[in-house]
Structure 1
C-alpha cells in the first residue's frame, strides 16, 4: 500500500509538470501533457541519486500516469498478484519547476529536475520516522 501511495504521489507530480507553460517559466523545458510510464525510482542523498528500475510482474501492463491539459491526471497501477488495475485521479498545477498535486484532500509539491520530450524526473520529500527523505521518480513518455 505504501508503494502505491508513493507511486500515486509521483504520478500526481508528473501531472503537475505536464501543464503547458510559456517559455517565461523558470522550470525545465518540455511538455508534460501525455502518458508517462514509471521507469526508475529511488532516493537522493547528498545530491547523489540511487535509482533502480521499476519492477513489474511478467504479463502485466506497466504502471503509468496520464497528464492532461485541463489540470487533471490519472495514475493506473497494476496489482502484482493478478494484474488487475486501479486508477487514481488527481489535479495538478505547475509553477516554474514545482509541480503541485492534489488528491483526496492531500497536496504534495514535487520539484521537476528534468523534463524533456522523453523523460520526466521528479524529486519529492517524505518523512519517515521523523526523518526527511528525498526521493526521485523517473518517467518515460509512452505517447
Structure 2
C-alpha cells in the first residue's frame, strides 16, 4: 500500500462515494503552475520520486539505475548500479563510498575508530600509515614490531630506548 495525505494548500482530485458530496475521497494530488513538480517532466520519464513538505526527497532514476534519499540539509544516501556502489554523504563534508575499488571513508575533520575489546587493521598485500605531521603508535603494556624481512628505521634523528 501507499499512503500520503495531501498537505494543506495542495491541489487534489476528488471523487465522491455514491456521488454523495458529503463523502469526498482524494483520488490523487495534482501539479500546476502554482505548485510545479520537483522533477522536470521528460518524454523518457526515467525519474520518479517523492518530496515531502520540508524538502526530504526519495528519488528513483531508471537511467542511472539508482535510488537516492536526500535531506534539505545536504545529507544523502545514493545506491547506484551505474556507479556500482553506495555513497553516503553528510552536511559536514564527510563521505563514505562503497565501490568496485573498495571502501573509501573521508572525514572533513577528525576520524575515530574505537572498539570495546579488540581491533585490527590488515591489508592483503600492504598497509600504509601516513600522517601530515606526527604519527604515534602506543601500547600501554607493550608494543611489538615484527617483520619476516628487513625492518628499516629512518629519520633526521633516531632515538631508541
- Report the TM-score when normalising by structure 2: 0.21
Q: Which has the higher contact order (CA 8 A, sep 6+)?
A: 1
Identify the structure with the greater strand proportion.
Answer: 1
Identify the structure with the greater helix proportion.
Answer: 1
Between structure 1 and structure 2, the one with the greater Rg is 2
- Report the TM-score when normalising by structure 1: 0.24
